[in-house]
Each structure stands twice: as C-alpha cells, then as structure tokens.
Amino acid sequence: MYKCNSPMSRFLESMNIDYEKWHDGVGYNLEALKEANKKEREAIEKILVDRNPPDWRDIEALVILDTPGARSALKAALLGGIYEVNMAVLRYVPKLVNDESRSKLIVEALRSASFDDGLSLTLDIIEKYHPKEIVRELFHGLLNREGEVAVHFASMLFYIYGKSETYFDRGNREFFLKFNTTKISDRKIIFQEL
C-alpha cells in the first residue's frame, strides 16, 4: 500500500470523518494533498472523482488538485442538486459559474436548504454577493421559511442594508428572534417593523 506517514496515507486517513470532525466542520488534510507526488495526486483525484455524492471536503480538495479531471468533477457536482455541494463550489471556485447561474443556485438554496445542508454556507456567500434576486428571496423567506431560518434572513437583510456592521449582529438579536414564530400573522407584523 502506501508508506506510513506518506502524504497519500495522511490524506487518506483524513478522509475518515467521524461525528466530531463532521460536527466541527474539519476538512481533509490539504497540506498532505499539496505535498503528494504526481502519482499520489492522480490516485487521490480518482478517489475524489468517484465519490458519489461528493461533499464540501471533496470539493475543497478537487480545487487544490486543479486538473482538467478535477475541474470536470466540480462542474458535474453542480448537477447533483445538493445545496451544500453547490455552495462549496461557489465558495471555492466562484469563477466556475457565471453570475446568472450563481444567483440561481443561491436562490434555490434560500428556498429549501437547511442548516445541515448548506444554508450556513449560502449565507456566508451572500454576505459578499447579494444581487436583487437574492435580496428578494431573503424577503420572501422571512414570511415563508421556518422561524429559525427567517431569523437568519432578517439578520442578513439588516447587514445588506447597512443596519448592522456584521451578519447576525448581537445588538439586534432580540429583534431577529421575533421572526422565530409559526404564526404567519405575527411574522407579518414583525415584517412591517423590519
């Protein structure tokens, strides 16, 4: 197999994701990937390309490889419909898609993604990229998404419109939390206040 403590073995070991690594968002050992020789990198690329479905860690590693096969796998990953993967591609290789496609993917995530499937990453991207169709979807989500999500949408809108210096500004936390209600009538009143 591969020598103990070789870049290849270190990278493969880092692919074993347990609950703690998953929960803490620990990625693969990218330093080992960068140290790998040509043959090892080709073997790693094959492993990554064959993973179906990929996750954000695979996307991050494919970006480091930056080969024609890796770029092709990144494009194919966008077709899988996994919000977390789509947002990882947008985060790590935004030049891979045009603005129209980027906005479409973000709007889709805003409509349906959960915090376990890419919504946090979507909001991270929106901090820097928020054309009108994305802002419109944030407003729509304030009334139509579940309360926990609406809280974050309100916070992002405060940030986009310059009402807070950071996303989820603690100074406005109490107001944002008012959106965490299942009663649409209550949420509409808070929406007017916003």
112 shares its domain with 76: no
27 shares its domain with 67: yes
121 shares its domain with 192: yes
Task: Share the mean pLDDT of the chain.
Answer: 91
- 91 in any annotated domain: no
184 shares its domain with 109: yes
- 14 in any annotated domain: yes
The CA distances from residue 180 to 131, 147, 185, 188, in Å, are 25, 4, 12, 12
Q: Which domain holds residue 69?
A: 1-80
- 146 in any annotated domain: yes
Question: 65, 90, 66, 92: which is closest to 78 by C-alpha?
Answer: 90
Sequence-distant (6+) residues with CB within 8 A of 9 are: 1, 2, 3
SS3 label, residue 151: helix
Return the pLDDT at 3.
59
Cα dihedral 121, 123, 126, 132, rounded to 10, equals 130
1 shares its domain with 56: yes
How does pLDDT run across 52-106, given as a tens digit for each residue?
A: 889 999 999 999 999 999 999 999 999 888 999 999 999 999 999 999 999 999 9
44 shares its domain with 117: no
67 shares its domain with 121: no
How does pLDDT run across 107-145, given as a tens digit for each residue?
A: 999 999 998 889 999 999 999 999 999 999 999 999 999
Q: Give the global pTM.
A: 0.86
65 shares its domain with 146: no
Task: Report d(CA 30, CA 24) in Å as an integer.
Answer: 17
| End residue of a domain, out of 47, 80, 113 | 80
Residue 11 in this model has a pLDDT that exceeds 90? yes
1 shares its domain with 73: yes
- 89 in any annotated domain: no
Cβ–Cβ contacts within 10 Å for residue 175, how many? 17
Question: How confident is the model over 142-168, as a mean pLDDT?
Answer: 92
- 114 in any annotated domain: yes
- 90 in any annotated domain: no
Task: Report d(CA 42, CA 74) in Å as an integer.
Answer: 16
- 190 in any annotated domain: yes
- 66 in any annotated domain: yes
Number of structural domains (the chain) is 2
